[in-house]
Structure 1
Amino acid sequence: MKHFPITYNEPVIEQVLEHYSEHLGGDFQKYRNHVYRVFHYALYIIRKSEHMNSKVRGQIAYASAFHDIGIWTHKTFDYLKPSIFAMQEYLQNTPDTKIIAGMIFWHHKRSAYVGKHQLLIESFRRADWIDVTKGIKSFGVPREFMEEVTNVFPYHHFHITLMKKSFKHMLKHPFAPFPMFKN
């Protein structure tokens, strides 16, 4: 595999996470690492596209930082809309918010996304699925790259944290246990 650079400190991500650090509390590092893993996988997937540029990189960084933030800001597992709202509020509805909102809204879609901004939204959706499945779904991202990313940004029991939060949600909402999944 040709070397793909790992970014240790993406300014957009760091600024957003610092802004929400009180909400994230003890989960700060777990979420930060998840954000960076998703960010790197999305960049890797989209790397060969003629659309890859600094603007797209920024959109991926914002989507990565905000995509699950509603779990902590609104203390809910029905977090897609709260995550989008937090992003829109933070970015003050700049022109990119519609694309970033699409990336956040569709990132748990079970099947491929087809539609406007397909390359960007589908790349981000795949990146999150890679991380959520710990690479079982790889979408062509090499195992050695995933290992390199997780060595730099380890899981720190992120999945256990999510399972605990989802279990609490299921107890409160047994008929809507996973509201974030889209068909």
Structure 2
Amino acid sequence: MAEIEIKLQRPNVEVLFKPYQAVIGKDFPGYRNHVYRTITYAMHFLNGDLSQEKLVETAFVYHDIGLWTDRELAYLEPSEAVALADNEKFNWGLDPEALRGAIHWHHKILSYKGPHEKVIEACRKADWVDASKGLIRKGLSRSMIKEVEAAFPNLGFHDTLLRLAKDYGGSMLVGGIKVTRGIVKW
């Protein structure tokens, strides 16, 4: 397997984040690094296909944003809505179905089959790698994952998710159930 390319700076990502940084607040550094890690993995799964890079970057900036914009544990649809509205408002020209699909299916357990399969599947696999902290590797080597994690440290991102589940759900148990029911797809 080819080496993994790590881009430490992604100007498009920073522009996309700008209007939402205050809403994300203290959780921003951890979420930002999660986004950079997932973009890195997805682009590796896409063999560095630059024609997909803007879509991948945009999908990952927005993929969990409903946690903060809508304060919602079932955040896929709110995240999709914000991404699609901004895509239209700012005339980014991204295929709305590919953008929506990359966000909607990123927690799908089984492989995605359907329109825009290559990019959606790359995003799905990338998020599983990062969400599992590398326990699920989807073909990546441990050393690749460690290299990406060293470039973009966790900064408490997974703890943030647990805190939000408790805060929005009322308890860890209820929040965990709401998250699972609201975002996991078969």
Give me the TM-score of the superposition, normalised by structure 1. 0.90
Q: Tell me, yes or no, if the aligned pair for 1:44 and 1:141 is still in contact at 8 Å.
A: no
d(CA) in 1 for partners of 2:113 and 2:2? 29
d(CA) in 2 for partners of 1:28 and 1:21? 6
Query: Higher helix fraction: Structure 1 or Structure 2?
Result: 2
Correspondences of 1:152-163 after superposition (within 5 Å): 152-163=151-162
Q: Tell me, yes or no, if the aligned pair for 1:169 and 1:177 is still in contact at 8 Å.
A: no
Correspondences of 1:33-182 after superposition (within 5 Å): 33-47=33-47, 53-92=49-88, 94-171=93-170, 174=174, 176-178=178-180, 179-182=182-185
Same amino acid, percent of matched pairs: 33
d(CA) in 2 for partners of 1:136 and 1:86? 30
d(CA) in 1 for partners of 2:145 and 2:21? 26
Moved over 2 A (4+): 1-5, 52-55, 167-178
d(CA) in 2 for partners of 1:130 and 1:59? 19
Amino acid paired to 1:56: Q
Give me the TM-score of the superposition, normalised by structure 2. 0.89
Q: How many Å apart are 1:90 and its aligned residue?
A: 1.2
d(CA) in 2 for partners of 1:57 and 1:134? 23
Q: Secondary structure at the match of 1:20?
A: helix
Q: How many residues align?
A: 179
Q: How many Å apart are 1:177 and its aligned residue?
A: 4.5
Alignment gaps of 5+ in structure 1: none
Amino acid paired to 1:137: I
Alignment gaps of 5+ in structure 2: none
d(CA) in 2 for partners of 1:142 and 1:176? 32
RMSD: 1.8
